[in-house]
Structure 1
Amino acid sequence: MSRFRAAALAVGCAAAALTLTATTAHAAPGDTRNVCGSQLTPSGWVDVQWWNEYACGSTFSPNAKRIQQADGLPIGTTLTVCASALPPSGWVQLSEFYNSSCRYSVSPSFNNNSWQIKRVS
């Protein structure tokens, strides 16, 4: 029975790893995903919103975020993004400002925390 459990566990872990990888790797341009804030923003994605989510831990600080696939969007596209992750390659920052949806720090402030970015290449 222990071999069966070990095999089932190995298959289950492999399937989970493929699912997590496919979640962001096979997204269409502009798609969004909700993830815990402890998860790094993948390359080609941007943070667009932060909030507190019990499923991501019991802290009172923003610990969940919505990320958006920026790779593949047409040249000239502009996005409003949180400054918690750098813009992807081929995007430039046009402006910076405060956005209440992008409060990603435990210490609230009205400092600039968002950017408007534009795809240039």
Structure 2
Amino acid sequence: MPSRVPLRLAACAAAVAGLVVGLPLPATASDTMTVCMGSPTPSGWVEVKYSTNYRCGRPGSTHNAKTIRKVTSVSPGGTVAACTSSPRPAGWAVTRYRYVSSCEISRFGSSNNNTQQMLVNLNGLPSGSIRAVCGAWSAPQGWAIVSRHRDYGCVYSRFGSPTSDNAATIRKF
């Protein structure tokens, strides 16, 4: 009967190598996982929380791990809350900003900018669909700007207020 010790050693070596190159830490669920901060966020995923994990090395003044969520199964028009530092998937738009401490990259908090964005999936919506989105200085491909307006939910600065039109209503053509 072959010994399992070499297999266990190989598994441990692979786990350590994974941490060095930033592969995922042990997954918690199929649609979310925690990875070291140096790992790129894959296409179709968003960052939803920053934390400290000693498997990713000794923490400094910033968190060294991030929880990412797979969003490819979110239905058209569906929403997801993501940290503002997260890459935005293609075909998604911001509908609101807000402050949440779990999206602070700093371990010591900040009163600077908002840290979370609410994203809406514009992919697959039928013609004639209308959505209010933040920013939208130019309409996403396949969409037209119907109107511009001021929206407190679209102010990026934590304690700011809109001083000009910072949101738009868009319609899919």
Same fold (TM over 0.5): yes
- Equivalent-residue separation in structure 2 for 1:83 and 1:107 (angstroms): 18
Question: Is it true that 1:120 corresponds to 2:122 in the alignment?
Answer: yes
Match of 1:85 in 2: 86
Which structure has the highest helix share of the two? 1
Alignment RMSD, CA only? 2.8
Answer yes or no: is the 8 Å Cα contact 2:41–2:87 preserved in 1.
no
- Equivalent-residue separation in structure 2 for 1:83 and 1:33 (angstroms): 18
- Equivalent-residue separation in structure 2 for 1:112 and 1:56 (angstroms): 26
- Equivalent-residue separation in structure 2 for 1:104 and 1:84 (angstroms): 9
- Equivalent-residue separation in structure 2 for 1:95 and 1:116 (angstroms): 5
Normalised by the length of structure 2, the TM-score is: 0.51
- Equivalent-residue separation in structure 1 for 2:108 and 2:101 (angstroms): 13
State the one-letter code of the partner of 2:90. Answer: S
Relative contact order (C-alpha < 8 Å, sep 6+): which is higher? 1
- Equivalent-residue separation in structure 1 for 2:108 and 2:51 (angstroms): 13
- Equivalent-residue separation in structure 1 for 2:83 and 2:55 (angstroms): 22
Structure ID, larger Rg: 2
Match of 2:56 in 1: 56
Q: Runs of 4+ in structure 1 displaced over 6 angstroms?
A: none
- Equivalent-residue separation in structure 1 for 2:88 and 2:40 (angstroms): 14
Aligned residues: 102
- Equivalent-residue separation in structure 1 for 2:57 and 2:69 (angstroms): 22
In structure 1, stretches of 5+ residues that fail to align are 1-8, 22-26
Encode CA deviations 1:10-29: one digit per residue, 9 max, x unaligned: xx98xx99xx69xxxxx96x
- Equivalent-residue separation in structure 2 for 1:35 and 1:47 (angstroms): 10
State the one-letter code of the partner of 2:121. Answer: R
In structure 2, stretches of 5+ residues that fail to align are 1-9, 124-173
